[in-house]
Amino acid sequence: MGMVMVVEGLPYFAFPKQMKTWVKKIEIMQEKSLRNLGLILMALGVFLVYLGRKL
């Protein structure tokens, strides 16, 4: 869980201006697009965990 928090916080620390712009873009996205993005990110996360455990 701690590693997740580091990964989540890193962009806000390293690129605060760009993150503000990105968050504003997310606000205007359609719900379907956000759901699709979330599904893709979850699948990628599961795949990365699988790779980490396999190697």
What are 1-54's pLDDT values in tens digits? 888 899 999 999 999 999 999 999 999 999 999 999 999 999 999 999 999 999
User: Do 31 and 24 meet the contact criterion of CB atoms below 8 Å apart?
Assistant: no
The residue whose two tokens read 């760009």 is 18
Query: What's the one-letter identity of residue 43?
Result: A
Quote the Cα angle for 15-18-19, to 5°: 80
| pLDDT score, position 46 | 94
| pLDDT score, position 29 | 95
| pLDDT score, position 3 | 86
Residues of the domain holding 26: 2-54
| pLDDT score, position 52 | 92
Structure tokens belonging to residue 14: 């390293």
In angstroms, the CA 16 to CA 11 distance is 7
User: Domains in the chain: how many in total?
Assistant: 1
